Amino acid sequence: DAGVTQSPTHLIKTRGQQVTLRCSPKSGHDTVSWYQQALGQGPQFIFQYYEEEERQRGNFPDRFSGHQFPNYSSELNVNALLLGDSALYLCASSLLQEGDTQYFGPGTRLTVL
């Protein structure tokens, strides 16, 4: 049973560019959450997708957007990249129910130069 997978593993971009990160949830899960983890800090919640819609959003600007596909996989898009967007981007999947547990993928390391 495959866990949560993310691609790519690493990515280098320059300021002003746009990036798309991808996530495939754990088998049987229908909800995907995205987190940003800056160096030396805990992960920060970006947003969550369920039934192809954004259900909840953290304190991130509109440059951060996402999408969920019918097969429950998800993308995170970041436009107009800033140096401060350099971080580990984590995807977590869960089954939307009371007391659900989120399982994390290995993350995508984004470096903005």
Partner 1 sequence: DAKTTQPPSMDCAEGRAANLPCNHSTISGNEYVYWYRQIHSQGPQYIIHGLKNNETNEMASLIITEDRKSSTLILPHATLRDTAVYYCIVRPSKAAGNKLTFGGGTRVLVKP
Pair 22, 82: CB distance under 8 Å: no
Q: Per CB under 8 A, does 42 bind partner 1?
A: yes
CA distance 76 to 33: 10
Tracing tokens 């951060």 back to the chain, one arrives at: 64
CA distance 84 to 71: 32
Give the type of residue at 32. Answer: V
Say how many residues touch partner 1, by CB under 8 A.
28
Q: Tell me which stretch binds partner 1 (CB under 8 A): 13-21, 61-69, 71-79, 101-109.
A: 101-109
Q: Per CB under 8 A, does 94 bind partner 1?
A: yes
What is the DSSP-derived secondary structure letter of residue 25?
P
Q: Per CB under 8 A, does 111 bind partner 1?
A: no
Q: Which residue among 24, 48, 74, 93 contacts partner 1 (CB under 8 A)?
A: 48
Q: Per CB under 8 A, does 24 bind partner 1?
A: no
- How far apart are CB 108 and partner 1 at their closest, in Å? 10
- When computed from its CA atoms, the radius of gyration of the chain, rounded to whole angstroms, is 13
Q: Per CB under 8 A, does 77 bind partner 1?
A: no
Which three-class secondary structure state does DSSP give residue 53? strand
In the complex, which residues of this chain contact partner 1 (CB under 8 A)? 4, 33, 35, 42-45, 48, 55-56, 58, 88, 90, 92, 94, 96-107, 109
